[in-house]
Amino acid sequence: MNQARLLSRCMGLFRPAASAERPGRRGLSRDNARIVILGVLLCCLLPAMAARAAQTNANPQQVEAAFLRNFARYVTWPDHAFADEHSSWNVCILGNDQFDGVLEKTLYGRTEQGRSFKIFHAAELERLPSCHIVFVGFKDSAKRRAALAGLKMQPVLTVGDAPEFLREGGIIRFRVGEHVEMSINLDQARSASLAIPTKMLEVSHEVVENGMPRRWR
């Protein structure tokens, strides 16, 4: 599929639901525009994944797995987070594993920045190796907060989908439902020595900076 056709399919896949417009007003609202941009960003960054998602009506686990791979591509880790230039990305699932094998299929044989992926699962933080990305799947808020406290100040990108995830100390929250929505705690990212690129902030639903949540404009 050529890029123009793929982009067209991406636009259709992530097009927001129709809503009433005020007389004389044309174009997308700011929120709907953000949804479209986020969808197109995902498709452009992951052409193969986007094509598969278009064929399967964007299975939520596939989209979430694609985002985790993209984070490895665009977020910048400090050099000391890796043993050497050839060491792998350690992607860890802590608590409930909602991916049901999709993450392994998505990352199998893939590389980002010359590094392959290894995936680890554990019910307790102490049983995980040194991780670069941790998806915190605990349903219990106390367990999430304890895990995030244990990872604090380490070069680890914490990701989750709980509504209070950023307030609990997580770095990236995303939700895949009718629309794809991503929010970022920039304060926590900086304390972990991780650099979040502007292109991710621009398509975020919410960015927490200096302790204040705000919509990115």
Is residue 45 domain-resident? Answer: no
Is residue 157 domain-resident? Answer: yes
Is residue 153 domain-resident? Answer: yes
Is residue 22 domain-resident? Answer: no
Domain containing 78 — which CATH number? 3.40.50
pLDDT in tens, 125-150: 999 999 999 999 999 999 999 999 99
Domains in the chain, number: 1
Q: Yes or no: say if 168 and 145 are a contact pair by the CB < 8 Å rule.
A: yes
pTM comes to: 0.75
- For 113, the domain range is 60-214
Is residue 11 domain-resident? Answer: no
Is residue 72 domain-resident? Answer: yes
pLDDT in tens, 195-208: 999 999 999 999 99
Given the DSSP bridges, would you call strands 172-176 and 180-185 parallel, antiparallel or unpaired?
antiparallel
Angstrom distance (rounded) from CA 171 to CA 186: 7
Beta-strand ranges (E) seen in the chain are 89-94, 111-112, 115-122, 133-136, 157-160, 172-176, 180-185, 206-209, 212-214
pLDDT in tens, 85-136: 999 999 999 999 999 899 999 999 999 999 999 999 999 999 999 999 999 9
Is residue 154 domain-resident? Answer: yes
pLDDT value of residue 216: 62
Angstrom distance (rounded) from CA 86 to CA 195: 21
